Structure 1
Amino acid sequence: MKYKMHILLVLCLVIAGAVVAGGCLSADKDKDLDNVGMTSFKSEKELKNYLENSGSLNTRSVSGGSIAKTTAPSPAPEAAVSEASMDSGANYNSAGGADYSQTNVQIAGVDEADIVKTDGKVIYYTPNLYYTKNVTLHNDSKYPYYTYDTYQMTLVINAMPAETASIISKITETGGNLYLADDLLITISTDYKIHKIIAYDISDPTAPKVMWEQEYEGYYVDSRLIDDKLYFVANEYGFGVFPLMYMGRELAYSDCYYPFGPDIIRPNADITYYVTKLDVKTGDADKTIALIGSYNTILFASGDNLYMTNYYYPDTQLMYLDFIESNGSDYLPSDVMKYIKKVMGYDLSTRIKYMAVSETIGNYTAELTEDENNDFYDSFYKDYNAYSSALIIEAEKTTITKINLETFDLVSGVVPGRINDKFAMDEKDGYLRVISTVGDDYRTEESTLRSMVSILNADMETAGTLDNVAAGEYIQTTRYVGNTLYLMTYTDNDPFLLIDLSTPEKPAVLGEMQLQGTYSYIYPISDTLLVGFGYTGDWRDWRTKLSLYDVSSPENPVELDVFYFNDDEYVSVYDYHGFTWNAAKNLMVVPGSDTAYVFEIKDGKITLMKEDVHKDSYVVRSAYIGDYLYTFSSKEIHVYNMTNWQRVQVIPIDQPVYPDYGSIYPTHEDPIYPTHDEPVYA
């Protein structure tokens, strides 16, 4: 038969070059689908073999390591201080003990990097602007062009007195993500060319001084500041080279971790994450570990632990081969199955086996009559689709690796399905609470979609679960407050669920109400009041809204009030750091396009108090000190007296100046392609 000759030809072509892959189907397949997690390499040889056989690209050379931490008691390089700012610098501490805002974070006491920080006296702000330096005109006869470098700038603002607030110095060495730690300002550059963490002594904010700097490899992912330790996460595509180096130090093989699991499922594993603990006073890297993950790895940090996820999904080619090997004789003649079993017995990669088996079945069906072909596909694919759909639901897993932030010891656990984002996780009293979605796959039936609450103990073992939560609904946003999980979903019914987590072994639904629309962010303003930010209507009359909920009676949550933005007002909470809540004054500030919306939320009502418009620039942040509100865009900073809502000061921000390409005239009509990346504007 033709299929016999064809499969033999395929095997002859591929056997010589076939690679033995870790994902090959073996005779005794591992069916323990919960046997997944993260483990360290047991030997240097094991690490080398993994790196050599991973097949991933390396993105850097680490021979000799990176530039080590340096100290410098001199003023910050390229720091600029104007004469006017020097005159006002003496008043930088005049705010005294005034109440001031902190960065809006997920977990209280766990500080997150942001572009605006204040200590109640001085404000530090990195606008999303890129300034030019080293501008050079290359006057080529055919294609004249400019090249230049870019840098970000951190503005140091004397905030009080508010009426005379001004920029008193500028840090141009680095910018981006900021932290305040006593008299230190820590800046983490996110520029793709600059990979630096720099700490400045800001005891005199008119003249910041570099205390230490640390270069890092890879790309910045996230960070947290807890007490006097900075926990820093960066990543790079692929798995580096051996020996693995980070921040000038060689990592032991036992400090490098990789995901494992049974053959039939596999993790996304194409990115190396480096987790480093730095002393903020000295810049010393106390500890670094490397973990292999993927672009969709999610990070969540409590005060004691850092959690990182790995998503596992079925190997569809292996799944297909497994079905054929176990059930093929129900659909295929014995001679076809004989050849298939021979293929399965070869020491080949999964991909080669899949190609060969598919070709074999294709050639067999090509010789059938039309009716025989239809009967085959009706029976074979009906059964295979049912098998694969059930296996996908069973095999889709997310492992969660807990890293003890004190010791850097690791332990892994597993939950079914996929985790939406970091707000789906929370830690309390040593338990990790997680909500995940099961059955959200194009290859499964819509009726299988559901969510599940899992509670894991200190050893990352499952202590309790709540299944079939919001069946048929997609999770939109979640928030944990104490022992209650607030869950908002979206499909048809849009339920708002309150889930009791007080007994880890028995999580239970407390109450439910139906919503109109979808929500993207929940913010608790008290123990019994929540603000929900979202949208209502369909694509023809989509409107943004802000809702106030009373959850004092969990069995019967109530929407107290709702504010609808105008149809043409675009408001987003893509970055929750943009939210500001002033509990003392019951004021909430929400950035939306070029406007900062100020709401009073009091006595069950939402009242719009002020719309602060910035001309031709997006509002990105707000902060308050005492009775004064500061709103930030990339062009200026506005200051308002919150007792009468009068604007008392406007601080302009210098704008970048870029080369004028209109003044360059090429010798013919071909377009000019600049040799640099265009800047990103706020």
Structure 2
Amino acid sequence: MSDHPLGGDHTIPCGDVYRPGTQIPVDATYTALSIDAAGGTVEDSVTFVGTSRNTVVHMSPDALYVTYTDSTSHARQLGAFLRTEFDETPAHVEERIAEIQSYDISARATNREIDRVFEQWLATLPTEERKRLREAFTREFADYRAARQRNATTTGIVRLAVDGTALSVEATGTVPGRPLNQFSMDHHEGTLRITTTIPAVGSADSANDLYVLDSRTLDERGAVTDMGVTERVYSVRYVDETAYVVTFRRIDPFHVVDLSDPDEPEVTGELKLPGFSSYLHPIDDDHVLGIGKEDGAVKTVLFDVSDPSDPSIDDQRVRHTRHWSAISRSHHAFTIDRKHGVFVLPTGEDAIVVNYTDGSLSETATVRTDGTVTRTRYVEDYLYVFSGEEVVVVDERTWDRETTLALEN
């Protein structure tokens, strides 16, 4: 029970909390509320378990989509491999592993016990035979895990239907891998798109996939797989029937994915450049802004996507004296003012105002504050820069500082 500001004491019976059909690690409980905007009363609610770091939520006009991540434990894979796939395993070891797997103990304890049984068996063998079997086990188990890579880590998706003020669990689905954040998922004209990273497993490298699902049934309609092999997703942005995906390990491949045919999505273009973009923002029909890092310094890139088959760079800036931006932690730190043709890049105690028009990135002004800049917002022709110590107001017509308000602790 919690003291909810909208509904007073909000009690949720345990039997009313939705959970996956299989055991997954959870550390958070979420409640979706349907609230009367005029009176503030709670009309309906649905409660479900999830994780504070891996659960992604996306809202469409008629549904709320919620994800959870499930990973096949090493112990489960090890036990299955030794019992059913490794031809050298003797019957008594298989039986002992089956007995261990029947215990109600943690995955870590299960893994430790199976390892112990395996090592005890190897210890009974001659040295050369033990060496041969250990090498065969290492090689074959890596291949076994790699062949099951897309089943090792999966993302479950739940559709909460919104019908007026009524909320109900309507459908569930599963895709391989795990999403990065809320920008990894998007609803568009009867489809749900989700981009995931498939972690490296066994002898298989990491990869990145984009799945197109039916938004009501969550059945898969199409997919693009194996983008950026050996890398992981750093940012995603959907714009109508196009997805922009950045993967990174040593370089930053910027992928352009055509989603106009939900049943046959395809990568139409790719651009490789140093560093990475951890946040993408559409500027206009032909440009996407990337904000991230290169060699530890804050980097901004203006991508030209007018030709989806051949994306290019109109301009890029690496600020070698700036090593952190609040945008890397939260997209709420990003502000774009289309009226004045600028966006604001918070970098420590500075807020750098950047003009993005005419296919270039040029600094218009720098607003310095006491404390770290966390947010910027504009109202009409005035830019408000918030730090932990003060609020600075700047006139965007002249870029002069108008007012500084000190904040008391």
Counterpart contact for 1:313–1:392, Cα < 8 Å? no
Deviation of 1:485 after TM superposition, in Å, equals 0.3
The one-letter amino acid of 1:380's match is F
Query: Residue type matched to 2:364 in 1?
Result: M
3-state SS, counterpart of residue 217 of structure 2: coil
Check whether the contact 2:350–2:366 (CA below 8 A) recurs between aligned residues.
yes
Match of 1:248 in 2: 10
Matched, 1:365 2:122: yes
Q: 1:597, 1:379 → 2: CA distance?
A: 58
* Residue 59 of structure 2 is aligned to residue 301 of structure 1: yes
2:326/2:374 contact within 8 Å kept: no
Root mean square deviation of aligned Cα = 2.5
User: Residue 517 in 1 paired to residue 279 in 2?
Assistant: no
Matches within 5 A, 1:288-367: 288-295=45-52, 296-327=54-85, 330-334=87-91, 336-337=92-93, 340=96, 343=99, 348-349=103-104, 357-367=114-124
Aligned with 1:385: secondary structure?
Answer: helix
Change (3 A) 1:355 1:644: closer
Instruction: Work out which of the residue numbers 395, 399, 403 in structure 2 matches 1:641.
Output: 395
Distance 1:479 1:424 in 2: 7
Task: State the secondary structure of the residue aligned to 1:408.
Answer: strand
Shift of 1:341: 7.4
Tell me the secondary structure at the aligned position of residue 284 of structure 2. Answer: coil
User: Matched residues in 2 for 1:590 and 1:272: separation?
Assistant: 34
Partner in structure 1 of residue 385 of structure 2? 631
Q: In structure 1, what is the equivalent of residue 167 of structure 2?
A: 408
Contact 1:343–1:353, Cα closer than 8 Å, also in 2:
no
Structure-1 separation of matches of 2:105 and 2:333: 48
Q: How does 1:372-521 map to 2 (within 5 A)?
A: 372-406=129-163, 407-410=166-169, 411-438=171-198, 440-441=199-200, 443-445=201-203, 447-457=204-214, 458-521=216-279
Partner of 1:614: 369
Of 468-477 and 512-521, more deviation after overlay is shown by 468-477
Q: Which runs of 5+ in 1 are unaligned?
A: 1-61, 68-195, 198-212, 216-246, 657-682
Classify 1:649/1:379 alpha carbon distance in 2 versus 1 (closer, same or farther; 3 Å). closer
Counterparts in 2 of 1:380 and 1:527: CA distance versus 1, 3 Å:
same
Supply the AA of the counterpart residue of 1:563: R
Query: In the TM superposition, what is the alpha-carbon distance from 1:602 to its structure 2 partner?
Result: 1.4
Q: Please say if 1:558 is aligned against 2:306.
A: no
If you compute each CA radius of gyration, which structure gives the higher value, 1 or 2? 1
Residues 555-598 of structure 1: CA deviation (Å, up to 9, x unaligned): 12221112232424533412211221111211211212111111
Rounded Cα–Cα distance in structure 2 between residues aligned with 1:270 and 1:620: 28
**Paired residue for 1:581, among 329, 332, 336?**
336
Matched with 2:345 is 590
**Distance change (3 Å), C-alpha of 1:397 and 1:341:** closer
2:196–2:209 Cα contact (<8 Å) kept: yes
- Residues 464-521 of structure 1 show CA distances to partners (whole Å, capped at 9, x for unaligned) of 1112222232211110111110111212442111101111111011212122211111
Which of the residues 245, 258, 275 maps onto 2:19? 258
Q: Is the 1:640–1:647 contact (alpha carbons within 8 Å) kept by the matching residues of 2?
A: yes
State the shift of 1:327 in Å: 4.1
| C-alpha spacing 1:633/1:347, structure 2 compared with 1 (3 Å) | closer
The corresponding residue for 1:528 is: 286
Letter in 2 for 1:483: E
Counterparts in 2 of 1:362 and 1:433: CA distance versus 1, 3 Å: same
Deviation at 1:451, TM superposition (A): 1.3
Equivalent residues in 2 for 1:161-176, closer than 5 Å: none
Of stretches 460-469 and 360-369 in structure 1, the one that deviates more from structure 2 is: 360-369
How many Å separate the matches in 2 of 1:641 and 1:462? 50
Residues of 2 paired with 1:349 and 1:422: CA distance?
Answer: 35
Q: CA 1:332/1:501 → structure 2, altered by over 3 Å: closer, same or farther?
A: closer
Structure richer in strand, relative to its length: 2
Which residue identity is paired with 2:197?
T
Tell me how far apart the structure 1 counterparts of residues 36 and 317 of structure 2 sit (CA, whole Å).
Answer: 45
CA distance, structure 2, for counterparts of residue 647 and residue 533 of structure 1: 26
Is the partner of 2:391 in helix, strand or coil? Answer: strand
Distance (whole Å) between structure 2 residues aligned to residue 580 and residue 474 of structure 1: 26
Who is 1:549 aligned against?
303
| One-letter amino acid of the structure 2 residue matched with residue 408 of structure 1 | L
- Report the CA distance shift for 1:327/1:589 in structure 2 as closer, same or farther (over 3 A): closer
Q: Contact (CA 8 Å) 2:251, 2:276: kept in 1 or not?
A: no
User: CA–CA distance in 1 between the matches of 2:11 and 2:105?
Assistant: 38
Q: 1:339 to 1:478 in 2, by over 3 A?
A: closer
Counterparts of 1:649 and 1:364, CA distance in 2: 76
The answer to whether the Cα contact below 8 Å between 2:193 and 2:212 also exists between their aligned partners in 1 is: yes
State percent identity of aligned pairs: 25
Normalised by the length of structure 2, the TM-score is 0.89
1:108 is matched with none
Alpha-carbon shift at residue 399 of structure 1 (Å) = 0.8
SS at match of 2:39: coil
Change (3 A) 1:648 1:293: closer
Q: Please list every run of 5 or more consecutive structure 2 residues that lacks an aligned counterpart in the other structure.
A: none
Aligned partners of 2:281 and 2:289 also within 8 Å = yes
Mapped partners of 2:394, 2:105: distance in 1? 65
Using the alignment, how far apart are the partners of 2:73 and 2:177 within structure 1? 15
Give the Cα separation in 1 of the matches to 2:284 and 2:210.
Answer: 24
Separation of aligned partners in 1, 2:20 and 2:320: 48
- Structure-2 change in CA distance of 1:381 and 1:482 (3 Å): same
* 1:604 aligned onto 2:359: yes
Letter in 2 for 1:497: H
**For residues 555 and 327 of structure 1, do their structure 2 counterparts lie closer, same or farther at Cα, with a shift above 3 Å needed?**
closer
Query: Hey, what's the Cα distance between the residues in 1 that align with 2:322 and 2:306?
Result: 35
The Cα shift of 1:600 comes to 1.5
User: What SS does structure 2 have at the residue aligned with 1:348?
Assistant: coil
Is the CA contact 1:547–1:562 (under 8 Å) kept in the aligned structure 2?
Answer: yes
Instruction: Indicate how the Cα distance of structure 1 residues 652 and 369 shifts in structure 2: closer, same or farther if over 3 A, else same.
Output: same
